Every structure is written in C-alpha cells, then in structure tokens.
Amino acid sequence: MDITKEKNSPSPAATNTPLNQYDKLGQLDTQAPKPPANFTKPFRFFVFGLIFIILLFGAIIITNNQPQLVTSYTDCVKAKGSIVTESYPATCITKDKQRFVQDLTDEEKKNLIPPIATEGLQNYINSKFGFQIKIPLVFFYKEIGDNSVNFIENQYKNKEYNYPFLGITVYETTKSAVDFVNENGTETPPIGVPQDTKEYIWRGITTTKTAEFNSLDVLQFTSETDTTGTDHTLFKKDAIIVDVFNRHMGVTNVSEEIYKQILSTFEFIDNDEDLGIPSNNSNAKEGCQISGCSNEICQNADSEPAVSICLYSEKFVCYKDAVCEKQPDGNCDWTSTDELTFCLSNFE
C-alpha cells in the first residue's frame, strides 16, 4: 500500500462532497445540481401552454386584419362596412363598392314583375336641345322640368317608388364631359362616411371610361344613391351634355342589353328632316296628299292643301312612318295602327 498517495488524495468524506459529484475520472463535477424530476415536467407544460396561447391569439389577430373575401350576397351581409338596401330583392354593397343581389327561390322569382319587353321602338324627340332617342313601345315617359325626362315601363304607371327606369338629364355647359364630371362628381359614397358641404350631382362614382355609340364619343360611369346605383352615359355637343342613365332596382332592372340598344339610337338633330317630319307626300297613297306646315295633315289629293300653324309639336314624329291613304269612308286620313295610337297617346 502506498501510504503517501493515500495522504495526498483527499477522500470524499473529508471534502463533504457527495460521491455522485465526481465524474468517472475522479474530477469534481462543477455543474449546478439538477432540479428534481417532479418539478421539471410541470414547468415544461406551463411554458409550452403559454407559447401555444400566444401563437393562437396572434393567428386570430392576423386573420381579423386580413381583408374578407366577398363572393356572394351572404358574404356581403356579414362583411364589416357593408350596406344593405331596402329594395326587394335587397342589394348589398361592400366597402369597395361591389354589389350583390339577394338570392331568391324559384317561387319568389315567379312573384316578381316580369322582364321588360323589347318589341318595337318609338321615337322621343327633344326639339329644345336638339336630340332624339328610340325607346321600347312598352315605355311611357314623364318630363320633369325643362331638362329631364324619365322613361318608365307601362306596368309601373300606378307605382310610386322602387321601380326601374331610364332617364335623360341635360346640363348646359361649355366644359368637356370629363371636366364637368370631375367638377360635379365625387368618389365619396352617399352614405356611411362623413359628408362634405359641397353639393355634387353624382356621388360614389366608379368605373369611369370612354366609349362610342352611334359614331358619338361618350363618357360612362356608375354612381350611387342611398339605396341603389345608376349607370350613366354622357353625350357632348356644343354647350350641352346629355346624360342618358339607367337606374338600378335589383333583379327588375332595365337590362344592360336594352340600355345599350337604346343608347345606340341616340343622335343629335339640327333640322326638320332630322326631327322626323315626313317630307311632303312621302307616305301618301294614290288619291291622297300630306300637307300642313309640319306635314302632319293627311287629306284628299283634289283638295286645296291645308295650312296649319307653324308651331312644331313633338307628336308630329308619330306621323314619320304613318301611311296617308283612303279610308273606308272614301276620304284620306292616317291609317290607325297600334304604334301610331300609342305614340300619339304619349303627347296627350
């Protein structure tokens, strides 16, 4: 036994160090004591749970801040900032001005007013501002003041509100259509945001673009009111702008196809021939003649041509395609047709 080695090597008991604190080489393990197992496991669960809760709340916040994808009327109603009109069926308008019409069942659709008929057109002439446009025979018109007229389907004659219609408003201005809209229109919607004090003609303007109808350059855009939207087409000539518009009212709208068809008939007019006054005897049959200052009288050819007051009436356009011929009583007169009767009734 080596006594010297035993004296120079301190024993574990002498240093009060537990045996398990020495490594395999007999060196002192300087690492801190490990916590008991019954303490470490719950602590880990607590940390992991806290991290999960933080990540969950973060995901919720990120999801709420992302823009909502709106693809239907139901989505629109649920989306923040959307506006739902009181029309039937209702229309929902999103913050970014997307429009969605309320879905109806087949039975509900049967109860709606039938679609607008397109058979036949009649000519509307405005001699004051010098333009004409053709509208379906199933429409009547209602003039509003000196510069506006609405075209409404016959079935709505007794309806006070919430019906679709076409309309025309004339603005007297030397400005271009673009400058006039920039001055009198705004992208700010009519509801849902604080209003400024300026009076605008159009609010909620979107999708402004140029187009061409009947060889005429036009400016088109859509505007919003409190409950509906309107498509506008502006024709410009000299010192006037003619706004031909289509007011939306859900699924009973005047269709875009009919609107475009009517726009394609718009034209500015300058003389009696453009106004639709028939040339003398152009529509007269044998033994008859057409007379009157505006060629509005049909009479016998052997009679002295009648003289009428030279004051143009817009109803004279109704005789443009009418036929002057012998009637059952042997005298010449305008042959009555449904088109002629209906056209004249609009001027009574």
pLDDT in tens, 194-253: 555 678 899 889 888 998 887 888 999 999 876 678 999 999 999 999 999 998 876 567
List beta partners, residue 5. Answer: none
Asked if residue 126 and residue 104 are part of one domain, the reply reads no
pLDDT of 139 strictly over 80: yes
> 183 and 243 share a domain?
yes
Given 63, 86, 110, which residue is the final one in a domain? 110
Q: Same structural domain for residues 129 and 100?
A: no
Closest among 287, 283, 285 to 295, alpha carbons compared:
283
Tokens found for residue 82: 């959307």
Over residues 260-276, the pLDDT tens digits come to 888 988 999 875 444 54
pTM: 0.51
Token pair belonging to 140: 């009547």
Which letter does DSSP use for residue 22 in this model? B
Residue 110 carries which DSSP code? Answer: H
Residues 103 and 128 reside in one and the same domain: no
Let me know whether 87 and 196 are in one domain: no
CATH number at residue 179: 3.40.1000.10
Which structural domain, as residue segments, surrounds residue 193?
A: 122-268
Distance CA 7, CA 326 (A): 153
Tokens of 118: 């397109």
Output the DSSP codes for 287-346: TEEEESTTS-EEEETTSPPP-------GGGGGGSS--EEE-TTSSEEEPP-HHHHHHHHT
Walk across the sheet containing 91-93 and list its strands.
83-84, 91-93, 99-101
Q: 212 and 102, same structural domain?
A: no
Distance CA 294, CA 302 (A): 20
- Residue bearing tokens 């009111």: 225
Domain membership of residue 61 (yes or no) is: no
DSSP 192-248: SS---S---SB-S-EEEEEEEETTEEEEEEEEE-SS-EEEEEEEEETTEEEEEEEE-
pLDDT band with cut points at 50, 70 and 90 for residue 22: very low
Element holding 257 (H helix, E strand):
helix 256-263
Query: Would the pLDDT of 56 be above 90?
Result: no
Give 249: exposed, middle or buried? Use CB within 10 Å, 0-12, 13-18, 19+.
buried
- DSSP letter, residue 8: H
Would the pLDDT of 175 be above 90?
yes
Q: Using 50, 70 and 90 to split pLDDT, how confident is the model at 189?
A: confident
Residues 313 and 185 in one domain: no
Q: Bridge-partner residues for 131, per DSSP?
A: 126, 268
* pLDDT tens digits, 97-131: 788 888 888 777 655 544 544 456 777 878 788 88
- Asked, for residue 282, whether it belongs to a domain, the answer is no
CA dihedral 133, 136, 140, 146 (to 10 degrees): -10
Please give, one letter per residue, the 3-state secondary structure of 23-61. Answer: CCCCCECCCCCCCCHHHHHHHHHHHHHHHHHHHHHHHHH
Segment 7-20 mean pLDDT: 49
**Total domains present in the chain:** 3
**155 SS3 class:** helix
